[in-house]
Structure 1
Amino acid sequence: MEQADADAGVWVFHGSGSRFASGVFTTRDQAEAWIHQHDLTGVLTRYPIDQGVYDWAKEKQLFQPTEPEHTEAAFIQRFTSGSQEHFHYDPDDIG
């Protein structure tokens, strides 16, 4: 069984106001081309592959649970990290 690169990731685009992702890309260049093609507004974030962000952040020592609720499912399933590479897009901000 082949093991994934520990730093492997994908780029996920969440449009402004959306509840779910609207695109997943293997490279930032591909994602940005699609974002610009459609004049989209939102956030492009790099996510680890085969690992939840909660576990990734703990492994990288970017987050450590300090409260009992930090280990509960309700917290873990909503967890994101500002340490993930991410970029904001808004066509109105482009001169």
Structure 2
Amino acid sequence: MQTVWVFHGEEARFASAVFAAEADGLAWAARHGVSGLLAEYPVGDGCYDVAVREGRFRSSREHHGTPGHVAGFGPGLRHVHIRDGAP
């Protein structure tokens, strides 16, 4: 599965950067001293679909799988919390 790394700043409405590799995202975050989340996302599929397919998420509540739930589903892959440019 091909993935990318997306940086989403604290309290930001939109993501601010996308990287092919985690190391590139960490270097960028350090260079700019940013705080937020650097998360791995699948390319060509939704996070919800990948998590269900891989058995990392099972629907257990009525709202699971609804449009709002799918749209707000977190990456579920690897992620790094960053504060002032440092993991």
TM-based fold match above 0.5: yes
What are structure 1's unaligned runs of at least 5 residues? 1-6
2:81 counterpart letter in structure 1: H
How many residue pairs were aligned?
A: 87
Q: TM-score of the superposition, structure 1-length normalised?
A: 0.83
Higher-RCO chain (CA-CA 8 Å, sequence separation at least 6) = 2
Identity of aligned residues (%): 32
1:71 Cα deviation from its structure 2 partner: 2.0
| Residue-by-residue CA offset, 1:58-92 (whole Å, 9 max, x unaligned) | 011001112232121111111115x4100011128
Say which SS state the counterpart of residue 43 (structure 1) adopts: strand
Q: Does 1:38 align with 2:32?
A: yes
Q: Where do 5+ consecutive residues of structure 2 fail to align?
A: none
Q: Which residue of 1 aligns with 2:83?
A: 90
Q: Which is greater in Rg?
A: 1
Match in the other structure for 1:4: none
Aligned structure 1 segments of 4 or more residues deviating by more than 2 angstroms: 91-94
